[in-house]
Amino acid sequence: MSKQSDAASGFAIFVGAILFILAYPFIWLYEQVGGRLLFAIVIGIPTAIFVYKDWKKDQLRKAEEAKPTESAEEKSARKKREAEEFHAQNIQIIQEREQQAQRGVEHNPARVHTVETDDGYLSIEWRQQFDEIKQAWNAGDYDFARAWLQKLAYAITNENTPPEVHEKFKKLMVAFTRDDPLYAEVMSAALPVIEANPGIVQSTLAKQFPQFDAEQFRYAMYYGEIIGDVARVKSGRSYALSAAPVNLPKDQ
């Protein structure tokens, strides 16, 4: 019993000391200012803080309610304007990259390697040219490699090139196109529309994607046909597009 009594006494003393420490500032303040002023301080200050916070919250709510609300038409117009600005920025970025790549081609004529043949005509050294394209591709310079491949495509069409050069160029162009971010971007946007509208004319489809210029769109559709992502049929001065058929393996 004595041990329990001593423990209880010790706990009571401890609690009393804590209460005294907590109450001492108020006792001291009471002795300094008196009971009424102490009551005003203890009750008034917290009440004033609470009232001020509530008033501030109410002012913020009123200011929020006073803001003009955006109608459905205004919201739609704003989103359309933001989308147009976004597309305009994309077009500008893409055009600047293409122009930089083209300037690199034009300002470095030494990259077009030609030799004079026995009959006096100039012929492009295809192997060396292909190697330089591969180097640009491996270095991640897709704009430059793409511009050169398209330039060589025109040259191959206009020159009397051997069939093996045609075949090597096609393999290189197809491999590059499969890895080209621009091709992936165009096809990811255009393929769902082609699948939903089989027979859509290429020139009509291109107008739905102003973020790509005409040359970029023709590039993607042309090699999309070679790769097998789309099927094209001549339609006037353009092409009718459809999703390429999937050839499923026959049952054995």
Residues 170, 204, single domain; the answer is no
Cβ-based neighbours of 239, under 8 Å, separated by 6 or more: 201, 202, 221, 232, 233
Residue 79 falls inside a structural domain: no
In angstroms, the Cα distances linking 145 to 136, 156, 159, 171 are 6, 16, 20, 14
Decide: 168 and 133 in contact? Cβ < 8 Å: no
Phi-psi sector, 90: left (phi>0), alpha (psi -120 to 50), beta? alpha
Q: Which of 19, 43, 62 is the last residue of a domain?
A: 62
| Residue ranges making up the domain that contains 23 | 11-62
Residues 143, 99, single domain; the answer is yes
Query: Which residue type sits at 176?
Result: F
Three-state secondary structure readout of 153-205: HHHHHHCCCCHHHHHHHHHHHHHHHHHCHHHHHHHHHHHHHHHHCCCEEHHHH
Q: Which of 129, 144, 176 is the last residue of a domain?
A: 176
Residue 76 falls inside a structural domain: no
Residues 111, 170, single domain; the answer is yes
E-strand stretches of the chain: 114-116, 122-124, 200-201, 230-235, 238-243
Q: Which residues of 39-67 are buried (b: 16+ CB within 10 A; e: fewer)?
A: eeeeeeeeeeeeeeeeeeeeeeeeeeeee
Query: What CATH number is given to the structural domain containing 217?
Result: 1.10.10.10
Residues 170, 98, single domain; the answer is yes
C-alpha span between 14 and 8 (Å, rounded): 10
Structure tokens at 15: 């609690």
Decide: 184 and 224 in contact? Cβ < 8 Å: no
| Assessment of whether the complete model's pTM goes beyond 0.85 | no
The tens place of each residue's pLDDT in the chain, 252 residues long, gives 555 666 666 666 766 677 667 666 666 666 666 666 666 666 667 777 877 888 888 888 777 766 666 677 777 777 777 766 765 665 565 556 556 555 554 544 444 444 444 433 345 567 777 888 888 899 999 988 888 888 887 777 766 677 888 888 888 888 999 999 999 999 999 999 999 999 999 999 999 999 998 888 988 998 899 888 999 999 888 899 998 775 434 443
Cα of 135 vs its chain's centroid, Å:
27
C-alpha span between 136 and 145 (Å, rounded): 6
Residues 198, 237, single domain; the answer is yes
The total number of structural domains that make up the chain:
3
